Copies of this chain bind each other. A is one copy, B any other.
Amino acid sequence: MNFTGSHILSIGQFEREDIARIFAVADQMSPYAHRERVTKVLDGAILGSMFFEPSTRTRVSFGGAFNLLGGEVRETIGFASSAIVKGESLYDTARVLSGYSDVIAMRHPAEGSVDEFADASRVPVINGGDGTNEHPSQALLDLYTIKKELKDIGRVDIDGLRIALIGDLKYGRTVHSLCKLLLLYKNITVTLISPEELRMPGEIVEEMRSAGLTVIESALMEESISSVDIAYSTRIQEERFANKEEANLYRGRYRLNQAIYTRFCDPNTVIMHPLPRDSREGAKELDDDLNNNPNLAIFRQTDNGILVRMALFALVLDVVDQIDTHSRAVNWYTGSRF
């Protein structure tokens, strides 16, 4: 695809070469995200950050990524301060707000709303999550993390990946998107570990099998994580259930901790999670005792989110080739945080 001026709405819009392009640009962002160098390539540009549904990490990650490219951020959070309650159409909102910025990152609780907004927008729109539908930058940062973690253990590419997805596979938007992304790769084995009631939707399983992926379904975790590269744990999406009691039937069903990891997993098995992880008693899908396990990649995932979002902005605004020319060394204390 031609990224320049395009909306980023769905992982379905990407070919394998597009993913490769995004990841190559993300790699290029490393010295800026890791605070070795500063670039001002988007000095003077404005990101409209429209989070009609609250979110801290995605919102701050998009905003921080834009700042790291030298741009400014104007934020709108929630519906209270919106003209929508006065009967304004999403078309009008998009026409107006897209006149105030160079690119928009948007989250909205209603499925399809970001597409509708993008149709009317006069600037590129990046989907930051529309209900249970899509959240493409999250899927991209997950796959980017997988690629980097595999590379750290000597694997050249995503082809051949063996991954276990664990937990609430019914409501987890991120695992749905990740599965769809994996359709682009070869020789993939996906092990789906969930309670019977929270299985991956059948159409996604079918889609994977039709594309040639090996899909294994299981209700048991320990036996199923012994030969995977990645163990990807998820939180029970409490807010999607009828009530908390129903969610509690599943919370804590699968708990990965250091003892289980040591006993069942191959060495170097990478542990991932889309975060937030639920650390309350009764949940703990990833135990705190894994925090010092070097293969716990969950915070590298969120760090990689910055790289991927910087890449999307740079591609959509067509400044990839100018990033380094507008750069200089960092002049303040940065420690060794990464």
Contact = CB atoms under 8 A, between A and B. Distances in A.
A83 interface: yes
Interface stretch (A70-78, A148-156, A188-196): A70-78
A262 interface: no
A35 interface: yes
Given A83-B275, A86-B235, A64 B60 contact: no
Contact of A64 (B46, B276, B302, B338): B46
Interface string A321-338: 010000000111111011
A270 B196 CA distance: 61
A218 interface: no
B59 A81 contact: yes
A68 B86 contact: no
A interface, over-half SS: loop
Interface string A305-330: 01000000000111100100000001
B77 A74 contact: no
A318 B335 contact: no
Report the contact-size class of chain A (Cβ under 8 Å from the partner): 35 or more
B81 A56 contact: yes
A263 interface: no
Contact of A319 (B70, B100, B332): B332
Interface string A97-125: 11111100000000000000000001110
Given A54-B81, A60-B76, A83-B275, A96 B299 contact: yes
A89 interface: yes
A318 B333 contact: yes
B302 A96 contact: yes
Given A57-B83, A88-B275, A124-B333, 10 more contacts: A44-B330, A46-B64, A60-B76, A64-B100, A75-B75, A87-B235, A88-B279, A91-B279, A91-B291, A99-B306
Closest 5 pairs (CB-CB, A-B): A38-B44, A54-B81, A87-B278, A122-B337, A83-B276
13 contacts: A4-B333, A44-B70, A46-B64, A64-B100, A83-B276, A86-B276, A87-B279, A88-B276, A92-B277, A98-B337, A99-B338, A122-B338, A124-B333
